[in-house]
């Protein structure tokens, strides 16, 4: 089993994440990307196994207009700084994936500059697709060339030229040897020559058989690229769309059809670990795409539990919003402060993803098991994952009222590992009652809630011992409350709650006990006893 088939990925767009200037004006490097070191405890709490960094190579503007494949963009820092980052991530059990923009380069790429200066005398004329001296380019050059997707600031490389391929592969070898990177995501993989993929596959796998090769593919038959000769994985844009639209349209038949088409009995992508996501640097944030924010936890439960590799785009674990507006992607690629997110972000969503990460790592059937539908309705979905005789059930309720499932099962007892509550199983039949806009993950053995944190592969503090009548401070806003009752059950879901009175205004509130005793940020308890 390959490591990436059991991994949770975390996607960062570095230039935005670091608040780097929009344009590279030269000058001395600034080590802005060191910021990621402060996020390592956060990544570990989320259960992240690998960080996929968007473009880090020297470029002019957005990172996809590369000027030097062997140097970290000076707006992010130096090669020495990035080597330190890679070392620290590796020490913490987190692998490093880089964005390989090998289909095109920027106009300031050194070989293209040579053509601009020397014209037909340049030895690099054949490095670029469609370059000829029969006319002018839209940018005023005295020659024509092919731009990626009509953008002439992105000069398409000629990957049929072996010198170009040798240059790119040699650069990859440098990042593998000196920085020990663990994989590459290939930008615009649908435009890249298949023979180049075969060459780079052989090169990387000979050096490191576990090296991960993933391609950005939006349309088409994914197995054209994801196969034993080329890439290990590609982006699952089909289910990206299906996840959000099935929730917005209240139609679980859509996403269930796509998953079964891909991975059900006779599915066309059996044996391929597709890269699953709900947003990224090119598309609107999930929180801005959904028509109801209450759908967020359900979308993530589905993404973590469906076949494939789950990925979280930085900040979206807190429900950060962002849209492509005014012909700009800046809203999708913001500079974020972790302390601000822990003060004002969607902390319930964040805790849900922390829990999902623990659950994902605890149950192999959830990661790599076979998929089958138990029951699907417009607003409810129940499916199962099976592996080595173990079964995990996943239930989603998109209704704004409680809903029930009754289904047959060979498992003698089940517990919802999200809430830690047992469900009713009698004579080979299970019955669950779900709260509005909720999800359940049903397992036989609750090793997440009943074992020590280390066994669940997430470092969390010791559980808080609650005392009725005692006062507690909410570390997020500094408010003080008196705990009234420590063990109250929700009438519909049976979830355990606590009841408390705010000292500031005397109002009485109820909160899930799991949240009250959970963490806020920096792995510290949410509520501290006074």
Q: How far apart are CA 452 and CA 466, in angstroms?
A: 19
Assigned token pair, 418: 């999200």
Q: How far apart are CA 79 and CA 74, in angstroms?
A: 9
Task: Give yes or no for residue 477 having a pLDDT over 60.
Answer: yes
- pLDDT confidence of residue 487: 75
- pLDDT confidence of residue 463: 42
Of 508, 528, 506, 507, nearest in space to 516 by CA: 528
Q: How far apart are CA 65 and CA 137, in angstroms?
A: 17
Q: Locate the DSSP E strands across 135-200.
A: 147-148, 151-156, 183-186
Q: How far apart are CA 394 and CA 378, in angstroms?
A: 16
Q: How far apart are CA 476 and CA 529, in angstroms?
A: 14
Determine the straight-line distance between the first and last CA of the chain, rounded to whole angstroms.
49
- Mark 468-494 as b/e (b = at least 16 C-beta within 10 Å): eeebbbbbeeeeebbbeebeeeeeebe
Task: Give yes or no for residue 497 having a pLDDT over 90.
Answer: no
Between 497 and 278, the higher pLDDT residue: 278
Q: What percent of the chain has pLDDT over 90?
A: 86
The count of C-alpha atoms lying within 13 angstroms of the C-alpha of 83, restricted to the half-sphere facing its C-beta, is 11
Tokens 């801005």 correspond to 288
- pLDDT confidence of residue 458: 38
The answer to whether 228 touches 201, Cβ cutoff 8 Å, is no
- pLDDT confidence of residue 474: 84
The mean of the pLDDT values for the chain is: 93
Query: For residue 9, what are the CA distances in angstroms to 57, 213, 225, 493?
Result: 21, 14, 20, 31
Number of H helices and E strands in the chain, helices first, is 15, 26
- Mark 351-368 as b/e (b = at least 16 C-beta within 10 Å): bbbbbbbbbbbbbebbbb
- Do the bridges between strand 403-408 and strand 390-397 make them parallel or antiparallel, or are there none, so unpaired? unpaired
495 confidence band (pLDDT: 50, 70, 90)? low
- Rounded to an integer, the average pLDDT of 27-33 is 97
- Rounded to an integer, the average pLDDT of 486-500 is 74
**Could you read off the pLDDT of 143-156 as tens digits, one per residue?**
999 999 889 999 99
The reply to whether CATH 3.30.56.10 applies to domain 3-365 is no
Assigned token pair, 526: 């949410």
- pLDDT confidence of residue 457: 41
- Rounded to an integer, the average pLDDT of 161-174 is 98
Q: In DSSP terms, which residues pair with 525 in a beta bridge? A: 519
- pLDDT confidence of residue 403: 96
Same fold, 3-365 and 460-529: no
- pLDDT confidence of residue 460: 38
Assigned token pair, 345: 């972000």
What angle (nearest 5°) sits at the alpha carbon of residue 383, between those of residues 379 and 384? 165
- pLDDT confidence of residue 11: 98
Of 70, 52, 68, 51, nearest in space to 60 by CA: 68
- pLDDT confidence of residue 459: 39
- pLDDT confidence of residue 462: 41
The count of C-alpha atoms lying within 13 angstroms of the C-alpha of 20, restricted to the half-sphere facing its C-beta, is 32
Three state DSSP letters for 413-434: CEEECCCCEEEEEECCEEEEEE
Task: Give yes or no for residue 519 having a pLDDT over 70.
Answer: no
Of 320, 318, 227, nearest in space to 274 by CA: 227
**Could you read off the pLDDT of 220-253 as tens digits, one per residue?**
999 999 999 999 999 999 999 999 999 999 999 9
- pLDDT confidence of residue 54: 98
The topology under which CATH files domain 367-449 is Immunoglobulin-like (2.60.40)
- Rounded to an integer, the average pLDDT of 302-313 is 98
- pLDDT confidence of residue 121: 98
Residue 89 contacts by C-beta under 8 Å, 6 or more apart in sequence? 36, 40, 51, 95, 96
Q: How far apart are CA 356 and CA 394, in angstroms?
A: 12
520 confidence band (pLDDT: 50, 70, 90)? low
- pLDDT confidence of residue 492: 58
SS3 category, 448: coil
- Rounded to an integer, the average pLDDT of 290-316 is 98
Task: Give yes or no for residue 465 having a pLDDT over 80.
Answer: no
Query: For residue 515, what are the CA distances in angstroms to 182, 190, 490, 507?
Result: 35, 44, 14, 19
The structural domains of the chain, with segments of one domain joined by +, span 3-365, 367-449, 460-529
**Could you read off the pLDDT of 328-337 as tens digits, one per residue?**
999 999 999 9
The reply to whether CATH 2.30.30 applies to domain 460-529 is yes
Q: How far apart are CA 251 and CA 259, in angstroms?
A: 14
Concatenated DSSP letters of 317-352: GGT-----BTTB-GGGS----HHHHHHHS-HHHHHH
Task: Give yes or no for residue 78 having a pLDDT over 90.
Answer: yes
The answer to whether 67 touches 56, Cβ cutoff 8 Å, is no
Q: In DSSP terms, which residues pair with 443 in a beta bridge? A: 415
Residue 160 contacts by C-beta under 8 Å, 6 or more apart in sequence? 193, 195
Tokens 């982006």 correspond to 235
- pLDDT confidence of residue 494: 57
525 confidence band (pLDDT: 50, 70, 90)? confident
- pLDDT confidence of residue 464: 53
């Amino acid at each position: 089993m390959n490591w990436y088939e059991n991994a949770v990925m975390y996607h960062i767009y570095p230039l935005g994440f670091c608040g780097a200037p929009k344009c590279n004006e030269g000058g001395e490097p600034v080590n802005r990307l060191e910021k990621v070191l402060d996020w390592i405890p956060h990544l570990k709490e989320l259960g992240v196994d690998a960080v996929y960094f968007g473009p880090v190579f020297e470029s002019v503007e957005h990172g996809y207009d590369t000027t030097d494949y062997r140097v970290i963009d000076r707006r992010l820092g130096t090669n020495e700084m990035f080597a330190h980052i890679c070392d620290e991530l590796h020490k913490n059990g987190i692998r490093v994936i880089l964005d390989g923009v090998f289909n095109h380069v920027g106009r300031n790429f050194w070989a293209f500059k040579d053509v601009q200066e020397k014209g037909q005398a340049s030895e690099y004329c054949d490095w670029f697709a469609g370059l000829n001296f029969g006319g002018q380019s839209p940018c005023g050059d005295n020659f024509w060339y092919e731009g990626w997707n009509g953008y002439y600031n992105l000069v398409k490389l000629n990957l049929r030229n072996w010198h170009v391929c040798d240059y790119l592969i040699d650069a990859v070898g440098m990042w593998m040897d000196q920085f020990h990177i663990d994989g590459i995501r290939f930008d615009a993989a649908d435009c890249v020559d298949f023979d180049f993929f075969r060459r780079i596959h052989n090169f990387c796998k000979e050096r490191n058989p576990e090296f991960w090769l993933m391609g950005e593919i939006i349309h088409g038959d994914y197995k054209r690229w994801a196969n034993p000769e080329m890439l290990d994985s590609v982006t699952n844009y089909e289910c990206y769309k299906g996840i959000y639209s099935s929730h917005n349209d209240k139609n679980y038949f859509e996403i269930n059809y796509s998953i079964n088409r891909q991975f059900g009995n006779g599915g066309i992508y059996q044996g391929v670990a597709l890269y699953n996501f709900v947003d990224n640097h090119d598309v609107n944030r999930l929180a801005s795409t959904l028509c109801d924010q209450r759908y967020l936890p359900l979308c993530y439960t589905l993404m973590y539990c469906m076949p494939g590799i789950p990925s979280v785009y930085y900040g979206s674990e807190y429900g950060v919003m962002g849209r492509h507006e005014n012909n700009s992607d800046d809203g999708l690629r913001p500079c974020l402060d972790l302390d601000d997110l822990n003060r004002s972000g969607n902390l319930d969503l964040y805790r849900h993803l922390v829990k999902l990460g623990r659950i994902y790592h605890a149950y192999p059937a959830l990661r790599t098991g076979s998929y089958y539908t138990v029951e699907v309705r417009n607003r409810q979905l129940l499916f199962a994952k099976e592996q080595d005789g173990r079964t995990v059930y996943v239930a989603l309720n998109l209704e704004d009222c409680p809903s029930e499932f009754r289904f047959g099962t060979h498992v003698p007892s089940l517990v919802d590992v999200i809430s830690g509550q047992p469900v009713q199983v009698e004579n080979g039949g299970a019955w669950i009652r779900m709260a509005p806009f909720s999800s359940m993950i049903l397992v036989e053995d609750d090793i997440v809630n009943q074992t020590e944190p280390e066994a669940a592969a997430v470092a969390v503090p010791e559980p808080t011992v609650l005392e009725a009548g005692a006062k507690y401070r909410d570390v997020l806003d500094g408010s003080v409350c008196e705990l009234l009752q420590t063990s109250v059950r929700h009438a519909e879901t049976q979830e355990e709650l606590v009841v408390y009175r705010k000292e500031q205004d005397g109002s009485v509130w109820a909160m899930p006990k799991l949240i009250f005793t959970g963490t806020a940020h920096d792995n510290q308890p949410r509520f501290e006893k006074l």
